[in-house]
Amino acid sequence: MRMSIVAAVVLLTGCGVPPVKTNPPAPVILKVPVATYVPIDAALTKRCSWARAGQPSAVFEVSNGRKRCLDQYEAQFDAIDKVQAKPVPH
């Protein structure tokens, strides 16, 4: 008789209510800024060349060559700024 009571208790414990499963908390979403690069035309990154050294009498020609290249680089930077937008502040 004791065995039947023990067997009944063991069988009835298997019929109990299963524990309630709780959902895990939602993951935190992190916003990561992503830099987007715009391809730049090769003409805008073209290097300029000038006579870097010369005779003392050619000082004005060398200076004019440097000035011409500086003007070209400034124009290229302006064109790149028009193509490549500025980042939007958050």
pTM: 0.51
Is the CB of residue 73 less than 8 Å from the CB of residue 48?
yes
Mean pLDDT for 29-44 is: 83
Q: Give the pLDDT score at 38.
A: 74
What is the spatial distance between Cα 12 and Cα 89, in angstroms, rounded to a whole number? 65
Burial state string for 49-75 with b = 16 or more CB within 10 A and e = fewer than 16: eeeeeeeeeeeeeeeebeeeeeeeeee
CA 3 and chain centroid, separation? 71
Q: Give the pLDDT score at 86.
A: 66
